[in-house]
Every structure is written in C-alpha cells, then in structure tokens.
Structure 1
Amino acid sequence: MNHRTGMIGLAALLMSCWGTVHAAECLPVAKAAWVRLPPVAMPMMAGFVRIENPCKTPISIVGAESLAFEDVSLHETREEGGVSRMREVAALPIAPGKAVELKPGGLHLMLHGPYQPLAEGEKPVITLKLADGRSLPVVFEVRKGAP
C-alpha cells in the first residue's frame, strides 16, 4: 500500500466514524415540560411534555427516572367501554421528524412518591431513558393546571 492509498483509506475510515458519532449525538428535544400540582398532597403526580425527534433515525423512550420521585413510569389513559383506564407503556417510539405529546387524558408520566412536597414554580428534573442506553434530562415546571 502506498502513502496515497493509505491516506484515502484513513480519510474514509474517519468519515465513517464521524457519521456514526454524529448520528449517536442526535437526541430528542423536549418542550413545554410541566408537572400538574394536585389540589391536595398526594403520593402521585403526572408529568407532561412534547418530545420531538429531529434525528434521521427512530428513537424510543423506554423509561424515566428522577431524584425528586421514588418512581417514574410512562402511562397512557384510554377510554374503554365508557370507562377511563390507565396502563403502563413499555416503550414510546418516535419516528424521525415526528413528535409525541404527553398530555392530560393521554400519554403521560406517572410520578410516584415525591421525596418532598413540591410547590408551584419548582423545577424538578426528570431524565428520559432511550432504548439505545442514552438519556435526556428534562427540566419540568410544577404548575397548578394546564399551561
């Protein structure tokens, strides 16, 4: 192998690595994140957020955690036979260029066991876990009602 061939091979290798790293750096974007403050102290609260996927590949939210709550899980509320039912969701896939809205009456985060009472205006961080092992810390604002 001559010097020129070696340089071309090295350049190709670096470009392929850069593309892999660059793709891995693409993260979803969280907007308008808020936690509903219940009218009285309760062991559960709900969190809402818009999650956008600006990446060229699909992403999937597979969990969440927070230092402010004992447990955080992804849930969905559905109307079944005239009755509103809630169930845990194992994964929330988001296609490239698309968004998912976690909002009252639909997909939401269940926030169990706050370690201390939260007040309006506080900003707990909830970290969304991605299927590929990465995470996305999101600052949520505590509010009395819808934004």
Structure 2
Amino acid sequence: MITKPFVCVLLAMCAADAPAAAAEPSCVTVREGWVRLPPGSAPMAAGYGVIHNGCKAPVTVVAAGSKAFGEVSLHETTLVNGVSRMRAVERLPIAANASVALKPGGLHLMLMQPEVPLKNGGEVPLRLSLEDGRKIDAMLIIRADAPRSPAR
C-alpha cells in the first residue's frame, strides 16, 4: 500500500526535476480569440486574438494546430513599398508578462483545409506549441464580422 506521505514526497521530487517554465502550466493564455467566417466554402480562414504570457520568463510559440483544420500556421502581413506581403512566422517570442496581438493586417493564424463546417457563432479549438514543449489550448469563436474594439 502506498501511503499519502510517500506520494507527496514523490510528487515533490518530480516537481523539482521539472523545468521552471513547466511549473507555470497556465501562465500563457489566448484571449479574445476569433476566426473570421470565410465566404462560401473557401479552403482557408484567418484567426485572431491576444496571446498573453503571464509567466516569469519569456516563451516562444513554435507551432499551432487545430482539430478543425488540416493545417494551421502563424503568418504576418506587412506593407512593403505599398505592396501587402504575407510570410510565415516560424517562431513567435513573447516576453515575460507581455502580450502579442493577432489581428487583421498584422500577425494572424492561417487556418487551412477546414475539416468541419464553419458557421457564425460556432467554436473551433486551437493548440499552440511552445518551444519548451508545453501546449496551450484555447477556443476561437467563429464570427462573420470583426468584434468591436473596447472603448478607450
């Protein structure tokens, strides 16, 4: 029979061996996440929101995925000499206690090959992978229009 003190000591030993970042499993969050409803049966959509790093150390997003899409990646739209360009973002560093906004015309998620019908008001899951191995899960709301910005 395993006693409670033994389990507590074992858990404490395992926690001591874990990396410091893993001690903060929920310090990275996705807030205000949404997906713009694509027209008709378009094979791609775009996702937005705010990724907040409430951790004591910087983190780096290295991948994104969703069970609702065949492929998900981070992209950035920039304006170069009057021409809009989009490029894939392989690594997205986020400083400790900082946020990065994913928004139209800037950083965003490219959601390709939808595997479920998308409808206004529906939800799709999102999983971000961090460089240290942690996974961050969130839900994105499907919207026909961009949400209104809060009054400032």
| TM-score of the two chains, using structure 2 as the length reference | 0.82
Contact 2:28/2:51 (8 A) holds in 1: yes
Partner of 1:25: 23
SS in 2 for 1:124: strand
Contact 1:39/1:144 (8 A) holds in 2: no
SS in 2 for 1:129: strand
**Equivalent-residue separation in structure 1 for 2:137 and 2:48 (angstroms):** 14
Partner of 2:71: 71
Q: CA deviation at 1:71?
A: 0.2
TM-superposition CA deviations, 1:54-98 (whole Å, max 9, x none):
111100111111110000000000001101010000010000011
- Structure 1 runs, 4 residues or longer, greater than 4 Å off: none
| Percent pairwise identity | 46
Q: 2:116 corresponds to which letter in structure 1? A: Q
| TM-score of the two chains, using structure 1 as the length reference | 0.84
SS in 2 for 1:49: strand
Task: Give the unaligned 5+ runs of structure 1.
Answer: 1-9
Q: 2:141 corresponds to which letter in structure 1? A: E
Task: Give the unaligned 5+ runs of structure 2.
Answer: 1-8, 148-152
SS in 1 for 2:96: coil
SS in 1 for 2:132: coil
Partner of 2:87: 87
Q: CA deviation at 1:17?
A: 1.7
1:117 aligns with 2:117: yes
Q: 2:140 corresponds to which letter in structure 1? A: F
Superposition map of 1:1-147 within 5 A = 17=16, 23-26=21-24, 27-147=27-147
User: Greater CA radius of gyration, 1 or 2?
Assistant: 1
Q: How many aligned residue pairs are there?
A: 134
SS in 1 for 2:123: coil
SS in 2 for 1:17: helix
Contact 2:22/2:134 (8 A) holds in 1: no
Q: 1:82 corresponds to which letter in structure 2? A: G
Q: CA deviation at 1:125?
A: 0.3
